Amino acid sequence: MILVAGSANIDFVVRADHIPLPGETVLGRNFQTFPGGKGANQAVACSKAGGVKTQLLAALGEDDHANRIEASLQAASVELRPIRVANQATGAAFICVSDDAENAITVAPGANAYLLPAHLPRLEEFSHLLLQLETPLDTVLAYAKAASQQGVQVVLNAAPAQALPDELLHLVDILIVNEGELMALAHEVRSVEEALEKLPCTSVVVTLGAKGCLARHKGTLYKQDAFPIEAIDTTAAGDTFCGVLVAQLSQGSDWPAALRCANAASALTCLSLGAQSSIPTALAVTQFLENH
């Protein structure tokens, strides 16, 4: 079983011709709300697209947005371990999606900022702990320490990008980042390959958008090309990749197979609008791979 500890948000999404520049006002078109948040998205991906029993530890407000998130998690067979935070709103993300499927996101953490080290349960029943950076860094570090001490694989999606203490990086078994996040963590390197080698984690995976992904695991490099698609919305594509990769590895898949499956699930996520609502089923991923 996988435990995901992280954020749960409600996403406010506007479609527009392009993402606004600083100081620019853009007239959007349709507006929708979706359950989201990196932690919740990755938990849904583990369960729905990865087919693995998954729990989510997340802090929620006592509001209607929390109810929508709970319903979405339940529909994806994710067991929620909720931390109720009084007098705080459930986290929110404000997302502009352009016609070329790119997005710009601003997050208001709300209750997510109140996920604390003391909230982590015992980890005997879990094989992997999947973390992100939309909750307090002190909490992420405390959870990584506890998991490492209990023999649980620590997986960190180091997003949104921020400086990380060396202590945390040395606790991480699998680090998942995009290219910008990787270069920010590695410092003064000339290539993605050099950055992968520089970081101390046992395994490092970098997603490269339309170029696929690259991974270093115990000194061996693996490359997986992207699947060609006509993207509609890239929101949650990275979260889907993370969740499915961890799900595949937890089931004993080797690295090439796990990367291929994660890339396929991520590609399918880009074909629909929204975060959790766009994450495919495990059957859809299997059928996609059979046809590619």
Q: Is residue 190 part of a domain?
A: yes
pLDDT at 229: 87
- pLDDT band, very low/low/confident/very high, at 67 (cuts 50, 70, 90): very high
Residue range of the domain that includes 185:
2-7+38-86+112-290
Q: Is residue 130 part of a domain?
A: yes
The answer on pLDDT for 274 being more than 90 is: no
pLDDT at 99: 86
Residue 254 annotated to the active site: no
Mean confidence (pLDDT) of the chain: 93
Quick: pLDDT tens for 142-163. Answer: 999 999 999 999 999 999 989 9
pLDDT at 97: 87
- Three-state helix/strand/coil letters over the chain: CEEEECCCEEEEEEEECCCCCCCCCCCCCCEEEEEECHHHHHHHHHHHHCCCCEEEEEEEECCHHHHHHHHHHHHCCEEEEEEEECCCCCEEEEEEEECCCCEEEEEECHHHHHCCHHHCCCCCCCCEEEECCCCCHHHHHHHHHHHHHCCCEEEEECCCCCCCCHHHHHHCCEEEEEHHHHHHHHCCCCCHHHHHHHCCCCEEEEECHHHCEEEEECCEEEEECCCCCCCCCCCCHHHHHHHHHHHHHHCCCCHHHHHHHHHHHHHHHCCCCCCHHHCCCHHHHHHHHHCC
Mean pLDDT of 213-239: 90
Best CA proximity match to 136, nearest among 91, 79, 166, 185: 91
Quick: pLDDT tens for 100-146. Answer: 888 888 999 999 999 999 999 999 999 999 999 999 999 999 999 99
Domain count, the chain: 1
Mean pLDDT of 83-88: 94
**Residue 130: CB atoms within 10 Å:** 32
Q: Is residue 259 part of a domain?
A: yes
pLDDT at 190: 84
pLDDT at 186: 87
CATH number at residue 271: 3.40.1190.20
Q: Is residue 31 part of a domain?
A: no
Mean pLDDT of 236-265: 96
pLDDT at 188: 79
pTM (predicted TM-score): 0.93
Q: Is residue 104 part of a domain?
A: no
pLDDT at 136: 97
Q: Is residue 103 part of a domain?
A: no
Residue from 11, 173, 233, 239 carrying the catalytic annotation: 239
Q: Is residue 184 part of a domain?
A: yes
pLDDT at 160: 92
Q: Is residue 270 part of a domain?
A: yes
